[in-house]
Amino acid sequence: MQYLSEYTDEQLLTLLHDGSEEAFTVLYNRYQRRVYLEASYILGNVEEAADITQELFTWIWEKRSELSIKNSLQGYLIIGVRRRSINHIAKKATKDKRLKKYMEYIVSDLAVSPQQEGSESENPPLFEEVMSKITPYARNILRKMYFEDKPQQEIAQEYGVRLQSVRNLVSTTMKALRKNFKKSL
């Protein structure tokens, strides 16, 4: 493989097209850092940047026999990682909007307004019952997110945890709330 590192991108792409794992490894080692840095700059999150980088190179490997790169491989990879990063941001924003809308729906069904939320004693019994089944930590995060309109990134920093941990907690807590809400009706 040492000798392959001296090959041009075009020569390596030809070998890759024929299924050479060694050529793929050389290309990966040559461009992975640059692609990762681009994704990290766009996303502002190192874990997501690593995921997007891995997805791009996995896609390159899977489509190796169909690839037709006319110009610079580096340019192709940078454009690819930019598109994937932007799509990732758009999907995440849509998911966050849906989740927030759903939470607002649950809360409105329980006849709780954000103003009432500040006072525990004014909440309806059903709301209290459902909320009592989740941990105080999860309850606090949901309150900050849905009633104080704090972004997940800010909540993660406040609690000193990773953003993905907050997302996972919100997701699992929402599932538990739905389940408990259905049982209570």
CATH number where 49 lies? 1.10.1740.10
Report the alpha-carbon distance of residue 154 to residue 135 in Å, rounded.
Answer: 20
Token pair of 135 as six digits: 């941990």
- Please say whether the beta carbons of 31 and 78 come within 8 A: no
Give yes or no: residues 72 and 125 share one domain: no
pLDDT at 58 over 90: yes
Token pair of 154 as six digits: 């800010």
pTM of the model: 0.53
Structurally, the chain folds into a number of domains equal to 2
pLDDT of amino acid 33: 95
Domain with 128 in it: 110-184
97 inside domain: no
Residue with tokens 């103003």: 115
pLDDT at 124 over 70: no
Helix (H, G, I), strand (E, B) or coil at 123: coil
- Average pLDDT of the residues of the chain: 81
Tally: H helices and E strands in the chain? 9, 0
Which pLDDT tens digit goes with each residue over 71-83? Answer: 888 999 999 999 9
Give yes or no: residues 173 and 142 share one domain: yes
pLDDT at 27 over 90: yes
- Smallest CA-to-CA distance from 181 within 146, 118, 140, 133 is with 133
- Please say whether the beta carbons of 134 and 178 come within 8 A: no
pLDDT of amino acid 36: 95
